[in-house]
Amino acid sequence: MLIDHPLLGPRDAQEFVVLGDAGLIDRPDRQAGDAARRFHEYLHLRNNPAGEHRELWFHEQGDRSWLVVTRDTLTHEILRVELARDVAVARGRDR
C-alpha cells in the first residue's frame, strides 16, 4: 500500500504506523461540566463504518508527520491524505 504524503509524495505503508480514528484530534475540554461523559465517549466509542473512514497515521520512518488519511475500508482505496496539523488548525486548534 502506498500513502501519497502531501509533502513527500508516495511512500510505502511500511514507513507508517496507524493510530486509529481521526476523531482523536477532537479532545474534549477537561473543564466542561460533562467532561467525564465526553472523555468516556472520546476514549471508548467509535464508529466502525463499512466505507469511508478517516484515520490518523504517523510517518515514523520518515518526516514524523501526523497525517489524516481518508480510506475506504471496503476497497482499501485511499481517497485523500492531509497533514493532521492542517486539519487541526482548520478545526480551530492553535496547532
Partner 1 sequence: MAEVALTARTPLDGYAGTFGGVTLVEAAGLSLVSAAVPNGGGDAFAAALAEGFGASRPSTGESVPGDRLGARILGMQPDQMFILFEAPDPDRAAEAVSSALGPAAYVTDQSDSWAMLRIEGRGVRAALERICMLDLDDAAFPQGRVARTVMEHLAVIILRDGADSFLLMTPRSSARSFLHAVELSLANVSE
CB 87 within 8 A of CB 11: no
Q: In whole angstroms, what is the distance from residue 91 CA to residue 44 CA?
A: 22
Number of residues that bind partner 1 (CB under 8 A): 14
* Interacting span for partner 1 (CB under 8 A) from 1-9, 18-26, 42-50, 67-75: 1-9
Is 14 an interacting residue with respect to partner 1 (CB under 8 A)? Answer: yes
For partner 1, the closer of residues 12 and 29 by Cβ is 12
Check binding of 95 to partner 1 (CB under 8 A): yes
C-alpha dihedral sign at 77, 84, 15, 7:
positive
Distance of closest approach, residue 80 Cβ to partner 1, in angstroms: 19
List the alpha helices (DSSP H) in 1-95.
35-44, 84-90
